[in-house]
């Protein structure tokens, strides 16, 4: 593999390309466009790892549901379906505001960008608020994970310590909890880019962070789209 | 073309060594701790994983020393009791797998070489690269902390239900594994993005050096398999804390499900370990045979094939664990398929050497050792993939010998070969060739003494991980222990002359071996920006036709 070197500019280590003045441009890329594409690939790969992280829990849930189908069905009746449905709608709406936020950023509409991002944050907060009510209801009823489970009035008797109800709520709290942590991280990220958008840092040439946080936010929504039927709509 | 060649094939003395390189451009500890230069991070990884290898190696020597006699007595005293022995082999396994082999080649050599091979200035995400190194450090500290706070004696596989019920520090160790997993994910993510977007102008996917192909295939597994290990460790920890009832049969869980989860990562992880080793061999063999690699595309595709097949064979770790008969037969059949891409590689390397102009310098000696040891490791894998023999050999020393032949005889030998191959590039210094050959010979002989013996032990029924054994096994155990001393001596000598070479002034030429890949086009050690100007690819890889001579 013989090579030759092309000195684009001998005083500049390797020619910094088209956007040497952009403050966001990193020296090891040739163009700003290449930098954007690269970070986007990185984000997609990261999202793939997120899918697999949740995937393990989905498989675990499936295995346990196959073990205790009746107990899981009865346990899911303790979940408040209308609240779950409300949260689904809220997150779907927030996905739309996120899309509009990205669109506004790349069309140089600073004010609209900030507004859409703030609405997205509000949706995320509503989601967490609803989740708070749901969780407190479970806490009051003793519908807790593992050996903390102490709900009274279950119809199927527990034999040999195999408590499918406790396992159901273990998975419920693990998966919605992990999803909730992702919502919290999302709020932090959205606040950060809303702040930067407000300072006017984004324009049609550079809106990478908005785009990447958007991708992340859609994945968080998507995971909820799967969690909702998995837990609330067992038949 | 001729002009390009004279311009780009500098021999020793052709090019003045620049006063500033990546090692001395900035100085002080802080400049290293905050560096985002892939070369410096590679060096830090090299130091870090070598330390882990040293620690794991000491533990291995202790394991072998304990097994020297059936009474475990040395000079009339029992050195290590049964409980300590369990902890020592667990830590040996956990440290070697999670702290050493998995990050070894990707973290150190690939980090250093991959951007150079692509003609890039750095990896795609330099800060993430540094973060990945610090995650490794955090994971290492957590793992070592588990030694202090009660130790772990579950074996490195953390099988349930023992791991969910025992009182010792399994929690800390699983946390360490979780953290180390993310370090590995970030490295893989970085490499995939780098390979896709930062190749030099003119370099297509099939113009990349095969080391890059191997690292790329590894990165795919790191990214896709490791998250599952992470979540498995979380489930294990939560089972311990909350008794969620997933793995512990006493509360309605399924211990075999843990094994499925664990091996869904840990089998692909075997390819995270071996693929970078194969990748190094694919560089060393053409360079020291002065010949174009035979079957470039076949080797490239076989790396990807191994990465994908690796995801489909995890069940072969559970042939006797209560898996259904149908699943067992399917997993066995899929396991045999792994032999195809492995064989493709082995035969292509041999065909590359055939009628080549072979020079037996230290990296090549390691590469040839790899071919021999990996062939043994691979072929004994077929014994274990075949159901009827595996039932007898499961959990015996045969398995121990088999995976040490693949992991140590394969990956570690390739790693050491790679360190020798790129040492002049990384440090700017040549090591003592004479001591290099002596070290390699000792490592090869010591390794075979230690582990070939264990095939016999295993086939005669010696179970793995047992502290006590029957008197009849003593001669073989003793021979294996003597071998571990020879192996240890060889590795010690290797470390000594490599470190000694750092004391002398920089003397390495830019291209000491006459390599054709891009990292040899820059100076040794490279400047911080890697190349003066943007290198452009003009030839297919491993093209030895235009310039077969190397420096005298």
- Report pLDDT digits (tens) over A26-47: 888 988 889 999 999 999 999 9
- Mind listing the pLDDT tens digit for each residue in B76-115? 888 899 999 999 999 999 999 999 999 999 999 999 999 9
pLDDT band at B168 (very low <50, low <70, confident <90, very high): confident
Identify the burial level of B355 via C-beta atoms within 10 angstroms of its C-beta, where 0-12 means exposed, 13-18 middle and 19 or more buried: exposed
| pLDDT over 60 (residue B6) | no
With contacts defined as CB-CB under 8 Å, which chain A residues touch B124?
A: 38-39, 41-42
- Indicate the DSSP class of residue B310: G
The count of other CB atoms within 10 Å of the CB of residue B13 is 10
Taking an 8 Å cut-off on Cβ atoms, the answer to whether A56 and B250 are in contact is no
Beta-strand relationship, A3-6 and B534-537:
antiparallel
Q: Does B551 touch chain A (CB under 8 A)?
A: no
* φ/ψ of residue A141, rounded to 5: -85, -5
Mean pLDDT of A107-125: 96
- Could you give the CA distance from residue B64 to residue B74 in angstroms, rounded to a whole number? 12
Q: What is the pLDDT of residue A26?
A: 87
Beta-strand relationship, B77-78 and B73-74:
antiparallel
Q: What is the pLDDT of residue B546?
A: 55
- Could you give the CA distance from residue B206 to residue B128 in angstroms, rounded to a whole number? 27
A2, A49, A64: residue with CB nearest B227: A49
ipTM: 0.90
Nearest-10 Cα torsion for B237, B90, B394, B312: 50
Q: Does B383 touch chain A (CB under 8 A)?
A: no
| pLDDT over 80 (residue A6) | no
Q: What is the pLDDT of residue B14?
A: 55
With contacts defined as CB-CB under 8 Å, which chain A residues touch B206?
A: none
Two tokens at B436? 């290099």
Q: Give the Å distances, CA to CA, from B179 to A153, B47, B445.
A: 41, 19, 36
For all residues of chain B together, what is the average pLDDT?
Answer: 92
Q: What is the pLDDT of residue B434?
A: 97
Under 8 Å between Cβ of A163 and A149: yes
Taking an 8 Å cut-off on Cβ atoms, the answer to whether A38 and B124 are in contact is yes
Gyration radius of chain B over CA positions? 23
Residue spans of the domains in chain A: they are 32-151+163-232
| pLDDT over 70 (residue B3) | no
Q: Å from A62 to nearest chain B CA?
A: 11
- Indicate the DSSP class of residue B463: B
| pLDDT over 70 (residue A17) | no
Two tokens at A6? 């092309």
With contacts defined as CB-CB under 8 Å, which chain B residues touch A10?
A: 533
Taking an 8 Å cut-off on Cβ atoms, the answer to whether A53 and B230 are in contact is yes
| pLDDT over 70 (residue B41) | yes
- Could you give the CA distance from residue A104 to residue A123 in angstroms, rounded to a whole number? 18
* Spacing of C-alpha B320 from chain mean position: 28
- Mind listing the pLDDT tens digit for each residue in B105-150? 999 999 999 999 999 999 999 999 999 999 999 999 999 999 888 8
Under 8 Å between Cβ of B376 and B403: no
Q: Does B547 touch chain A (CB under 8 A)?
A: yes
- pTM summary value: 0.92
Mean pLDDT of B461-477: 95
Q: What is the pLDDT of residue B147?
A: 85
Q: What is the pLDDT of residue B259?
A: 95
Question: Regarding the domain delimited by A32-151+163-232, which CATH topology (the fold level of the hierarchy) does it fall under?
Answer: 1.20.120
- Mind listing the pLDDT tens digit for each residue in B362-380? 999 999 999 999 999 999 9
Q: What is the pLDDT of residue A117?
A: 97
Report helix, strand or coil for B78: strand
- Could you give the CA distance from residue A175 to residue A231 in angstroms, rounded to a whole number? 10
pLDDT band at A152 (very low <50, low <70, confident <90, very high): confident
Q: What is the pLDDT of residue B75?
A: 84
| pLDDT over 80 (residue A14) | no
Taking an 8 Å cut-off on Cβ atoms, the answer to whether A5 and B245 are in contact is no
Mean pLDDT of B439-463: 97
Q: Mutate which of B197, B510, B541 to disrupt the A interface (most A C-beta within 10 Å)?
A: B197
Measured between CA atoms, the residue of chain A closest to residue B210 is: A1
The residue among A3 and B32 whose pLDDT is bigger is B32
> Within the 267-306 window of chain B, which residues sit less than 8 Å (CB to CB) from chain A?
none
Under 8 Å between Cβ of B371 and B237: no
Taking an 8 Å cut-off on Cβ atoms, the answer to whether B252 and A161 are in contact is yes
Mean pLDDT of B519-535: 91
The count of other CB atoms within 10 Å of the CB of residue B354 is 11
Measured between CA atoms, the residue of chain B closest to residue A14 is: B533
Mean pLDDT of A45-58: 96
Q: What is the pLDDT of residue A3?
A: 46
Under 8 Å between Cβ of B217 and B275: yes
> Within the 151-210 window of chain B, which residues sit less than 8 Å (CB to CB) from chain A?
185, 188-190, 192-193, 196-198, 200, 207, 209
B193, B235, B245: residue with CB nearest A166: B245
- Mind listing the pLDDT tens digit for each residue in B405-419? 999 999 999 999 999
When the candidates are 1.20.210.10, 3.30.360.10, 1.10.10.410, 3.30.365.10, the CATH number that belongs to B43-521 is 1.20.210.10
- Mind listing the pLDDT tens digit for each residue in A167-190? 999 999 999 999 999 999 999 999
Region for residue B353 given its phi and psi (left: phi exceeds 0; alpha: psi -120 to 50; beta: otherwise): alpha
Q: What is the pLDDT of residue B9?
A: 44
Under 8 Å between Cβ of A170 and B238: yes
| Beta carbons within 8 Å of B258's beta carbon, 6+ residues apart | B158, B159, B160, B232, B235, B236, B246, B247
Q: Give the Å distances, CA to CA, from B137 to A205, B127, B261.
A: 38, 15, 26
């Amino acid at each position: 593999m013989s090579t030759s070197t092309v000195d684009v500019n001998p005083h500049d280590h390797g020619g910094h390309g088209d956007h040497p003045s952009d403050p966001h441009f990193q020296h090891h890329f040739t163009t700003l466009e290449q930098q954007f594409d690269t970070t986007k690939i990185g984000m997609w790969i990261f999202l793939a790892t997120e899918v697999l992280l949740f995937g393990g829990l989905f498989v675990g849930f499936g295995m346990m549901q196959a073990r205790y189908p009746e107990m899981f069905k009865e346990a899911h009746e303790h979940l408040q379906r209308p609240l779950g449905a409300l949260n689904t709608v809220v997150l779907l709406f927030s996905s739309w505001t996120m899309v509009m936020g990205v669109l506004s950023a790349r069309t140089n509409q600073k004010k609209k960008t900030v507004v859409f991002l703030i609405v997205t944050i509000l949706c995320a907060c509503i989601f967490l608020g609803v989740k708070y009510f749901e969780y407190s209801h479970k806490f009051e009823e003793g519908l807790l994970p593992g050996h903390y489970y102490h709900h009274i009035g279950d119809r199927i008797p527990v034999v040999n310590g195999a408590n499918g109800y406790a396992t159901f709520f273990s998975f419920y709290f693990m998966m919605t909890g992990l999803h909730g942590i992702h919502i919290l991280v999302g709020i932090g990220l959205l606040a950060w880019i809303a702040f930067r958008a407000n300072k006017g840092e984004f324009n049609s040439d550079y809106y990478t962070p908005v785009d990447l946080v958007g991708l992340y936010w859609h994945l968080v929504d998507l995971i909820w789209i799967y969690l909702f039927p998995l837990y609330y709509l067992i038949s | 073309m001729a002009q390009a060649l004279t311009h780009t094939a500098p021999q020793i003395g052709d090019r003045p060594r620049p006063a500033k390189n990546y090692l001395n451009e900035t100085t002080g500890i802080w400049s290293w701790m905050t560096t985002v230069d892939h070369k410096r991070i590679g060096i830090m990884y090299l130091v870090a994983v070598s330390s882990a290898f040293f620690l794991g190696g000491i533990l291995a020597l202790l394991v072998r020393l304990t097994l020297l006699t059936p009474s475990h007595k040395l000079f009339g005293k029992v050195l290590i009791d049964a409980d300590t022995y369990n902890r020592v082999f667990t830590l040996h396994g956990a440290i070697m797998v999670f702290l050493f082999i998995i990050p070894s080649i990707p973290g150190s050599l690939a980090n250093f070489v991959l951007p150079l091979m692509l003609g890039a200035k750095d990896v795609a995400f330099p800060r993430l690269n540094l973060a990945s190194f610090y995650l490794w450090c955090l994971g290492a500290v957590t793992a070592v902390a588990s030694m202090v706070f009660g130790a772990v004696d579950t074996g490195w596989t953390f099988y349930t239900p023992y791991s969910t019920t025992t009182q010792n520090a399994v929690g800390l160790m699983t946390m360490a594994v979780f953290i180390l997993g993310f370090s590995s994910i970030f490295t893989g993510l970085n490499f995939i993005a780098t390979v896709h977007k930062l190749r030099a102008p003119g370099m297509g996917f099939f113009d990349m050096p095969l080391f890059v192909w191997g690292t790329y295939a590894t990165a795919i597994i790191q990214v896709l398999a490791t998250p599952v290990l992470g979540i498995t460790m979380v489930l294990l920890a939560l089972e311990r804390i909350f008794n969620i009832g997933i793995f512990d049969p006493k509360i309605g869980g399924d211990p075999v499900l843990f094994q499925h989860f664990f091996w869904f990562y840990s089998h692909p992880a075997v390819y995270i370990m071996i693929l970078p080793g194969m990748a190094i061999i694919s560089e060393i063999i053409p360079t020291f045979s002065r010949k174009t690699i035979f079957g470039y595309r076949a080797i490239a595709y076989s790396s990807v094939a191994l990465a994908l097949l690796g995801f489909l064979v995890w069940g072969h770790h559970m042939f006797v664990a209560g898996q259904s008969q149908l699943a067992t037969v399917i997993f066995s059949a899929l396991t045999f398929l792994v032999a195809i891409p492995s064989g493709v590689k082995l035969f292509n390397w041999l065909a590359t050497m055939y009628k080549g102009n072979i020079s037996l310098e230290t990296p090549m000696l390691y590469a040839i050792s790899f071919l021999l040891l990996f062939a043994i490791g691979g072929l004994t894998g077929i014994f274990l993939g075949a159901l009827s023999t595996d039932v007898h050999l499961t959990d015996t020393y045969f398995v121990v010998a088999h995976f040490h032949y693949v992991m140590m005889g394969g990956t570690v030998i390739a790693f050491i070969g790679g360190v020798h191959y790129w040492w002049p590039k990384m440090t700017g210094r040549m090591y003592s060739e004479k001591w290099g050959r002596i070290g390699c010979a000792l490592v090869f002989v010591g390794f075979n003494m230690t582990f070939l013996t264990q095939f016999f032990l295993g086939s005669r029924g010696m179970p793995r991980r047992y502290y006590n054994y029957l008197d009849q096994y003593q001669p073989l155990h003793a021979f294996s222990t003597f071998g571990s001393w020879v192996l240890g001596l060889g590795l010690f000598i290797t470390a000594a002359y490599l470190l000694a070479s750092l004391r002398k002034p920089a003397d390495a030429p830019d291209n000491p071996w006459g390599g054709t890949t891009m990292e040899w086009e820059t100076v040794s050690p490279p400047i911080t920006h890697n190349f003066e100007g943007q290198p452009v690819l003009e030839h297919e890889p491993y093209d030895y036709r235009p310039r077969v001579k190397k420096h005298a």
